[in-house]
Every structure is written in C-alpha cells, then in structure tokens.
Structure 1
Amino acid sequence: MEIRVGIISGEEISFILKGNFRDAMSNNLFSGEIVALQEKNSHVMLKNDMGLSKLPLPLTLEPVDASNASFILRDVCIGKDFHWQRSEDQEFKGKLQLIVGQEGLAAVNQIDIEDYLKSVISSEMSASSSINLLKAHAVISRSWLLAQIRKTEKLAEEEVYNSCHKTEDSCIRWYDREEHTDYDVCADDHCQRYQGITRATSPAVSDAVEATRGEVLMYDGEICDTRFSKCCGGVTELFENVWEPKVHPYLQSFADADAGSLTPIPDLRTEAGAESWIRGNFDSYCNCKDHEVINQVLNSYDRETPDFYRWKIVLSQEELQHLLKEKAGLELGEIHDLIPVERGVSGRIIQLKIVGSKGTFTIGKELEIRRALSKSHLYSSAFIVEKSLQRNGIVSYFTLIGAGWGHGVGLCQIGAAVMGAKGIEYRKILSHYFRGAELQKLW
C-alpha cells in the first residue's frame, strides 16, 4: 500500500535527483540538481544544467532503479511554529510528485506505508530505542495513519465540518486532519514526523516494522485513532477535550504509572487539584531523569527541551500583550488575569479566560491556548498562574508553572520508553495506553 506525504511547499522548490527519474507522462528522464518553479495554467518549469522543461501538473517523477535512487529536498522546515523550528535538507526514497497545493507548488513523497513507518519511527525518536518501544510505535503510527485516511474519506462525505466556534468574546478551536486535502498526511509534527532516510535508521527499526507488519489496533470494528505525545505529565487526557467532541472509549484518562505504585490523584479538573498535582513530583513512568532512556526516545533537537515533566516560564506584562496581539489578534490592554474556565482530566486547560483593561476574551482548546501564550507553543496547557504585582496593582509578570509536553492523549512517548527499558513487552505497552483496543493483523 502506497501513501502520499506532503513534505514542502512554496513558489520555488529545489531538489537533487540521485539517479535517473522518469516523468510518467512524457517518459523523459531527469537527474541531478533541479529547481522547480510554478507556472500559470497548472504547469511547472524545471530548470537544470540541460535547460528548461515546462510540464503539466501534477508531475510524478519515478525512480528507474528504486533500490539505488533517492532524492533530496532543500530547506525543508521541521518543527513548524514550535520552539525547535529549523530548516534542513532531507533525503527520500520512492516517487517525487509536484502538485498544485494550498500554498503554491507542493512536493509530495509517494512511498510504501511500511517504508514510511521505518522513517517515522526514526524521526519521532532515536533509532536506538528499545525494541519494545519501536514495535509499539510501529503499531500506533500505522494505526493512526490508516485511521486518518479513513477520516479524510468521511470528511469528504460531510457537507460542513466546523472546527472553530467563535463569538464576540470567545474563540474555541481545534486543529486536526481537516487541514490536509492534497495528500494523506504531512511530514511534520502536525501529523507525525517523517524525515525520509535523513534520520539514521537501524536494523532494530527495520526489525520492529517487519515484526509488526500490517498490525493495527482495533476497537469495535474500526481502526483506532492512536494519538501520542512526548510527555503526558503523569496523567493522560481525553480525546474530546483536545479535538472534536467525539468519545473514543480506548483513549481513557489514567495515571501513567505502574499499578503497584499509584499515587492518589486529586481531581485535576479543579484548581486546587490541578495546583497540587502540577507543583508535585509524583511517581510516573514519564517522570524520568535517566539520560540513557531519554536519549533513546528524543532526537538531538528534542533534547534541547530538558524540563518536559514539570516546567516554568515567566512572561512580562509587555511580552504577554505582544503575544496575544501577534498570535491571537487580541488587544485587551493591560492584562489583569488569566483564569482557567475549564480543565480536562489531566489538568490541561480547555478554555482560558483572559481579563484585560479593555475587555475579556476566552480561548480554547489546548493548542490554541499554547499558541497564544508563546512565541512558538507552550509545552502544554496544563499550567497554573502566579502573578507578580507592582505597587499600583498592575501585574508586572505572569509565571506559568506547568506539567507535560504535548496534548497528553494516548501514548506518552517518554513513559512508553521507560516501560520498554524495563523490558515490558510491546503488547503490554499498547494495552496500557489504549485500553480495550485489540491488536489485529490487516496484511
């Protein structure tokens, strides 16, 4: 089964074809350094040492010798809008497609799903992770992908899909699969990281994918929407509190810890419960200080974020006003307070009321909150607020003290890494995070 992965888009795309690639329409051969420029009337101009070639879009370049050919895309953005955002050249196997995308010319990689998974596992984490973690992630990455493809098909059958509910004094929004209509998935954190053969793979990665070939998690006859995040912060969140209001019974909330070492968890939907939990240091799988385990699950740029279980940031009055204007389009004057209106079961804020001298506005869900309060994204929306007052009563600084890294739904990657390092078998890791789901082999 082949899938289509959107890699990069723009008015101009530069790439290198390592080996001969054939245009499926004209039967022409291309290789070497090429610059693609979008032309009018759905055409593309390919410019290389041999001159110019004007071709219709979509254009599919297929390797003549697939086992020995690859292509490099220049200046691919990774971690878009997150604090680790950067550009790098990336190398891919499979076919290169150029299409008219939503943001201009788009480069799409058409590749076999199992080959795709080998890259995803090495991109989402280190290829040196334990075999149990690699197998677990192969299953959930495969399941998530197939579930999203099915969801896209269902969305096409709906007349209206509304992921934003806005009033004069509130905006509740979630971000999900409906943003991609030109290909199956994107290659960045919005979907799941896919960086071709740029990330070093290992025999263990190939073994994990082959050992679980065709395996997915199923619930009630449907492939499971197997979400995952870096660190749940000790308690997992419900799907419906982060995305659309749809209940997935296999995505439950629970303490990410061994059943024999559970710490009593307060009601994290309350302010008192959330504060005691976030300020605490509890026994959780993802409360990990073992650098050997951390290095297995986090790639180099992820390790720039060392304080993922509990964290703190400080925003000045001026910084907060600037962020709200730049990221959320809100000009509320001096900010007096940040008030959680609703918290999820993991303590993550679902709706946040921002009180200013010129008005009050409520935002949600969790990703919208994380975007509005950071130059990139807050680690998570599970935070409490401390205010530093000046003598005149104006808040000079807001200190956000938080827990976890990401949305917290489904598998916690650092928690699963710890379980794998303890020798816990991959099926048990999956049953821990996706309760009631069954492992089935589709091919």
Structure 2
Amino acid sequence: MHRKCFFLIILSLVSFYSFGEITPVLIAGSPEPTIRVRVSKSLKNVIISGTDLNRTFHIGNQKKSFSGRKKIKFNCNLFGKNERFKDRGPTLLASLNSMTGLVTVGDKKYMGTVDIVSSVGNDSCDVVQETKLEDYISGLLAKEMNSAWPIEALKAQAVAARSYALHKMETDHVSKNLGRVAHYDLESSEKHQVSGTFFDITRNTDLATSETMGEVLITPSGKLTPIFFHAKCGGKILRPDQVWSNAVSGYDANPKGDYCHGHGLKDWEKEVTYERFVSFIKWLQKKKLIKVSNKITGHKKIKILKDDKDKNHMRLYWGDLHIVIKKPLFRRYFGRVLFPSNNFEMNWSSPKKAFLVSGSGLGHGVGMCQLGALDLAKKGWGYRKILAHYFPGHRLEKAY
C-alpha cells in the first residue's frame, strides 16, 4: 500500500470520529535515516494543529499529550524578550508529532515531527520538519520535477535528490558553514532542494521513490559527493569548478547537453546598463575575483571581445586594461532574474546604450539537466542510463 493511501485511511477515520565529500557511513541493510528540513524561517507566529498531538518543550523537558483536535500557537517574537534566550543562538524550543503521522503548520500538512527553532536574534521562529528520508524524497519529486513526467525521469531525480540530501546530512554541511548548530540538515528552497508536503505525494512520486529506495550516486572510490541538478542546461553542461571554483570528485567531464531544446523556454534576452556594468567590474576587483594590475576607477570605454555561449569566460577591455571574467560571476552578482543561467553571450548595443545578453537554459548548469532527463525518458531511457549519462564519474550504490 502506498504511504499516501495509508495516511488517507487514517485521516478518514479521524474525521469520522472527530561541495566537500565523504566516504559513506550508511551501508545496505542500515536503517532508513531521518532528515531535518527547514520548511519556513523567520516567522513571528507559528500555528500548529493536528489530532492527538504530542508536544515537548525542550527547555525543561516538559511533555504533554492532547486528545482529539488541538491548535497551538507560538508567539515567536516573545522569545527574544525572555532573558533565558537573550544570549543564546538558535535554540530547539519545541517538537510536535501526532498519532496520525501528520502535523499541520498553517495550512500545510507535514509527515513526521515538526520542530520549532528560534531564529538568529531570537525574535522569530524557524519551522523544521523531521521525517524519513524516503517520505521526503517522495514529496520533493513533485516540486523539483512534474509528478506527471515519465517514471524513469522521476527515478533519476529521486536518486539525485537522495544523494544530495545524504551528503548534506553526513557532512553536517549547514552547521559547519554557519559555524554553529543549525538544527536542520538542509532547507526547502532553491539554495538546496525544494521539498513538498504530504499532499504533494502522488502514486508516481511514491513509485519512483520506492523503486529506487536507498540508492545514491558515489564515486568509483566509494565517496559520497554533492549531486547537482538544474532545470535546463540550454545545450551546455558545466562542472562544479567552472561555476563555483571548487572541484568536486566525479565531475571530470562535461556531458552532452543537447536533449532539452524541445522543452521549456528555449532562449532568453536581458539588458545590463553601462552604469550597472561599471559597478559590477568594481565589485569584482574589490572581491579579488579578477586579476588586474591597476585599480579600476571612474568610467572608461568598455569593449567586449568576440563572445559566444560556448565560452565560460568573457574577455573585455576597460580602457587599455585587459580583463577576463568567469561567466558565473555575472549570475552571482546580478542574480537569477537578470541571468537565468550561465550559458550566455554579451554584446554592446549602441542604440540602446546597454549591454545585450542572449542566453539559453535555466539554472547553474551543473549535473543533471531535468528537462534533458525528461526528453531521454520519453525516448525510452531508463533511470540508470540517464544517470550514467549526466554523472559518468559516479556509480549507483545502495546506502540502506
């Protein structure tokens, strides 16, 4: 029986009566891990509801159970005024779960346990979902892909997302980056992965998850590395070192990226004013992201040398000064709206007095192209073949 069907039966009864790497420590036969996902942040108030709730206040270890339907409100802006929290960093305040397996936060239902964590500054709250990793993957698929897509594309996404999540968990990546205990393994956002709720789970996403249960991608030497994916490569797939400067084991090749052209928006065009471009150049020098012999000051004539989408760098002259810029730095500075991908070319337009940007694709361009995976699945490729194409330096392994 599928998870969703199981919980729907319970709900019916209730309503009737009321970039690092590691060697994997998980091996086949190990229990399924639990993941902690930050699903909301910086909330002034949090309303939790459910049936037969169990609540634990972690400071003082106060536990209480409630029969029937119950709604609990947390006034998060009061935590910062409490002397006990004044000098603390983010603190695990409370945890709530239900006999039904579901807890409602606002209008969203989550499986597992919901944690309330004080935010930085202790004047608001973050909401963290603790759930089994396979349930997390099943809900995620409808957000990171379309649940109506071919099952083999969904399976490929399930393996990629599971690998990414396990790497975050095993390396304690978020806490190490923050320099403190984070109380979550990753967040539900484009920064990490967009997760779903209970009602995002479908028969297709559940099937794709169960038929790949515990499968992850590792390097030939057995190392678990970050497994990346993006919406559309636009014809060019990049390595991590070409986008973020740091190399990652297993990403030694640039796979063919010609399979997404028939899906989604093919091309995009944007404009960058001269003034904004000048600010960008000065920012690059300040951050020491370009090598120049002289300090960049004032306003000079900018001449872009012949550019095309196949190039990962742009060459230009700032007056007599020659500058080479990695293209992903444009997206880092200007953002994803102005630069939807790292696959673009730029030229000066005298009539518009601006730099015209012509690009293809959507996302950072590293790892699996999701629309490419869709196309390959429609061509009859299985998920193993799809993953082997996009991750030739990795192999499948059962983690649990």
TM-score, normalised by the number of residues in structure 2 = 0.73
The Cα shift of 1:94 comes to: 1.6
| Cα distance change of structure 1 residues 27 and 365 upon mapping to structure 2, 3 Å threshold | farther
Residues 8 and 370 (structure 1), Cα distance of their counterparts in 2 relative to 1, 3 Å cut: same
Instruction: Report the counterpart of residue 149 of structure 1 in structure 2.
Output: 169
AA of the residue aligned to 1:37: C
1:10 aligned residue: 42
Q: Which residue of 2 aligns with 1:134?
A: 154
Cα offset, 1:195, TM superposition: 2.8
In 1, are the aligned partners of 2:304 and 2:347 still within 8 Å (CA)? Answer: no
User: Relative to structure 1, is the Cα distance of residues 375 and 113 closer, same or farther in structure 2, using a 3 angstrom cutoff?
Assistant: closer
- Contact 1:61 1:97 (C-alpha < 8 Å) held by counterparts: yes
Separation of aligned partners in 2, 1:28 and 1:386: 65
1:37 equivalent in structure 2? 76
Structure 2 residue 186 is matched with structure 1 residue 185: yes
Q: Measure how far apart 1:119 and its partner are.
A: 1.2
Match of 1:126, SS state, is coil
- Check if 1:369 corresponds to 2:330: yes
Residues 237 and 256 in structure 2, CA contact (< 8 A), matched pair in contact too: yes
Corresponding position: 1:107 with 2:127: yes
CA distance in 2, matches of 1:437, 1:19: 44
Contact 1:411-1:433 within 8 A present in 2 as well: yes
Shift of 1:237: 0.6
User: 1:412 offset after TM fit, Å?
Assistant: 0.5
User: Aligned partners of 1:385 and 1:9: how far apart in 2?
Assistant: 37
1:432 to 375, 384, 389: 389
Deviations along 1:88-118, whole A, 9 cap, x unmatched? Answer: x643222111123346432111111111101
* Equivalent position of 1:412 in the other structure: 369
Alignment check: 8 A CA contact 1:352 1:363 kept: yes
Contact 1:121–1:127 (8 Å) recurs in 2: yes
Aligned equivalent of 2:29 = none
* CA shift digits 1:369-395 (9 cap, x unpaired): 2142358451112221121226xxxx7
Check if 1:211 corresponds to 2:199: no
Q: Which residue of 2 aligns with 1:383?
A: 344
1:11-40 superposed Cα distances (whole Å, 9 cap, x missing partner): 513334132432223122463262431413
Structure 1: gaps spanning 5 or more residues: 45-55, 74-88, 162-176, 257-283, 290-305
- Alignment of 1:286 onto 2:247: no
Q: In structure 2, give the amino acid aligned to 1:287.
A: H
1:422 to 369, 379, 382: 379
Check 1:322–1:246 CA distance in 2 against 1; reply closer, same or farther (3 A cut): closer
Q: 1:337 aligns with which of 268, 291, 302?
A: 302
| TM-score with structure 1 setting the length | 0.67
Instruction: Please give the alpha-carbon distance, in whole angstroms, between the structure 2 residues aligned to 1:338 and 1:20.
Output: 68
Q: Which of 58, 62, 68 is residue 92 of structure 2 equivalent to? A: 58
Asked whether the 8 Å contact 1:311–1:403 carries over to 2, the reply is yes
Give the number of the structure whose residues are more often strand, by fraction: 1
Q: Matches of residues 109-128 of structure 1 in structure 2 within 5 Å?
A: 109-128=129-148
| Separation in structure 2 between the aligned mates of residue 255 and residue 204 of structure 1, nearest angstrom | 28
| Corresponding residue SS for 1:28 | strand
Partner of 1:98: 116
Amino acid at match of 1:201: I
**Which residue number in structure 2 is paired with residue 195 of structure 1?**
196
Q: Give 1:211 shift.
A: 0.8
CA RMSD of aligned residues (A): 3.9
For 2:239 and 2:297, locate their aligned partners in 1 and report how far apart those are by CA, in whole Å: 31
Cα deviation for residue 247 of structure 1 reads 3.9
Do the aligned partners of 2:342 and 2:365 also contact (CA within 8 Å) in 1?
no
Q: Cα offset for 1:140?
A: 0.9
Q: Distance in 2 between matches of 1:427 and 1:94?
A: 30
In structure 2, the CA distance between the partners of 1:194 and 1:316, relative to structure 1 (3 Å rule), is same
Give me the whole-angstrom Cα distance separating, in 2, the residues matched to 1:329 and 1:248.
30
1:328, 1:21 → 2: CA distance? Answer: 55
Q: Is the 8 A contact 1:72 1:90 kept in 2?
A: yes
| 2:205 alignment partner, SS class | helix
Q: How many residues align?
A: 344
Contact 1:251 1:409 in 2 (8 A): no
- Runs of 5+ unmatched residues, structure 2: 1-32, 288-295
Please give the per-residue CA displacement for 1:133-163, whole angstroms capped at 9, x wherever unaligned: 111111111111112223336985xxxx8xx
- CA displacement at 1:318 relative to structure 2: 5.6
